[in-house]
């Protein structure tokens, strides 16, 4: 099965939190293409209205029958969460403050958006009889355990404030099924990359930062020796996993948690080599001191999500990178 075959029940209404961010805006775009009614919620802290321009233009268009409503609001406000979840069937909860480094510098901000904000969303979803709640968790919960690949039942070992916030919110998400019957599914994304991932912050992810530097004709920066590796996953795989989680009737998935990735790892030095090939130039990174909180290697086992949700990656790393470069 692929993205085209995903089928939602007719007339369902969905909410995407963090809809103006990288992953949220890609999900939004896909769900609108499926002709669903989508409400988006975002406080525009790291996201941007330009990411949802098309949807906003359509919703203010003359036809007046747009399927999209945008709430400029904050998940730290319980009243906002209550209003956003009213009449909604499925919530895709993407809103959070990303970045390990940001969380180490501003622990309180990461805590309030990622933990309090998620609990507010769960509370409001339950009160408003939302049926299903898909939570964007993170591979960072595994930390630096040497065992690869990361299997879901391994002990977790978060190494940063960000990882603790994502794990705590994941626990709340699981409990909302066990205690209240809200059908929750947590998806532990490994490093995601793709269109609309911002390269403009000091906290940006490594691939958009590399591409930005190359486009400016300057040298990309690598913290450490570049041999650190990640299971980088193209955005379509993440949209696909979310849709499978949202439409699955497998009760085993509820209150459960799954890796979402490509199932292969690639080092930063290998990415630089690939980019040198694509751009046909010798790209020489600048190596700087390793950063605290960064894990050395990461790789996902995809067995559990394959078994329970029927997921397998749709796009491999190289194809995803080529696709992104063609649009960057
Ligand atoms: P992003 O920063 O592009 O998007 C997050 C969005 O949430 C932004 O639009 C931001 O404005 C919004 N937001 C933040 N705090 C908010 C608040 N208090 N109220 C309302 N909106 C708020 O990040 P992303 O890469 O799209 O990440 C989406 C989700 O996926 C996050 O939960 C993140 O933790 C998770 N995740 C991402 C990756 C990755 O590689 N990108 C990996 C693992 C997990």
Whole-angstrom Cα Rg for the chain: 19
Tens digit of each residue's pLDDT, the chain (328 residues): 889 899 999 899 999 999 999 999 999 999 999 999 999 999 999 999 999 999 998 887 655 558 999 999 999 999 999 999 999 999 999 999 998 889 999 999 999 999 999 999 999 999 999 999 999 999 999 998 889 999 999 999 999 999 999 999 999 999 999 999 999 999 999 999 999 999 987 778 999 999 999 999 999 999 999 999 999 999 999 999 999 999 999 999 999 999 999 999 999 999 999 999 999 999 999 999 998 767 789 999 999 999 999 999 999 999 999 999 998 7
Q: Which atom of ligand 1 approaches the CA of 140 most closely?
A: 43
Catalytic residues: 162
Q: How far is the CA of 281 from the centre of ligand 1 (A)?
A: 33
d(CA 269, CA 242): 30
- Nearest residue (CA) to ligand 1, atom 35: 136
Contacts of 42 (CB under 8 A, 6+ apart): 17, 18, 19, 20, 21, 24, 70, 71, 72, 73, 95
d(CA 44, CA 12): 26
Model confidence pLDDT, tens digit, residues 221-273: 999 999 999 999 999 999 999 999 999 999 999 999 999 999 999 999 999 99
The answer to whether the beta carbons of residues 25 and 192 sit under 8 Å apart is: no
Q: Which atom of ligand 1 approaches the CA of 48 most closely?
A: 9
Pocket test for ligand 1, best of 27, 73, 95 (most atoms within 8 A of CB): 95
- Nearest residue (CA) to ligand 1, atom 14: 96
Q: How far is the CA of 99 from the centre of ligand 1 (A)?
A: 9
Q: What predicted TM-score, i.e. pTM, was given to this entire model?
A: 0.96
Q: Which atom of ligand 1 approaches the CA of 44 most closely?
A: 11
pLDDT of 62 = 58
Q: How far is the CA of 280 from the centre of ligand 1 (A)?
A: 33
């Amino acid at each position: 099965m692929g993205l085209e075959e995903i089928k939602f029940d007719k007339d369902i209404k969905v909410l995407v939190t963090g809809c103006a961010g990288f992953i949220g805006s890609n999900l939004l775009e896909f769900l609108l293409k499926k002709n669903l009614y989508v409400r988006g919620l975002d406080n525009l802290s790291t996201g941007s209205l330009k990411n949802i321009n098309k949807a906003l233009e359509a919703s203010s268009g003359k036809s007046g029958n747009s399927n999209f409503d945008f709430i400029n609001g904050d998940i730290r406000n319980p009243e906002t969460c209550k209003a956003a979840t009213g009449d909604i069937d499925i919530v895709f909860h993407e809103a959070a403050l990303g970045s390990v480094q940001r969380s180490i510098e501003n622990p309180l901000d990461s805590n309030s958006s990622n933990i309090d904000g998620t609990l507010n969303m769960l509370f409001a979803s339950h009160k408003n009889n939302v049926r299903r709640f898909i939570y964007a968790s993170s591979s960072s919960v595994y930390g630096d355990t040497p065992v690869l690949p990361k299997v879901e039942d391994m002990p977790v070992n978060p190494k940063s404030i960000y990882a603790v916030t994502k794990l705590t919110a994941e626990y709340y998400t699981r409990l909302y099924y066990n205690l209240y019957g809200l059908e929750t599914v947590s998806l532990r994304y490994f490093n995601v990359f793709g269109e609309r991932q911002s390269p403009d912050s000091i906290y940006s992810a490594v691939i958009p930062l590399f591409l930005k530097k190359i486009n400016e004709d300057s040298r990309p920066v690598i913290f450490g020796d570049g041999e650190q590796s990640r299971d980088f996953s193209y955005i379509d795989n993440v949209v696909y996993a979310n849709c499978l989680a949202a439409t699955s009737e497998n009760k085993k998935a509820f209150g459960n948690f799954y890796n979402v990735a490509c199932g292969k790892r690639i080092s930063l030095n290998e990415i630089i080599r690939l980019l040198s090939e694509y751009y046909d130039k010798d790209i020489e990174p600048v190596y700087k001191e390793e950063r605290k909180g960064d894990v050395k290697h990461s790789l996902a086992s995809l067995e559990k999500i394959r078994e329970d949700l029927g997921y397998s990656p749709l796009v491999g790393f190289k194809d995803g990178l080529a696709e992104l470069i063609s649009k960057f």
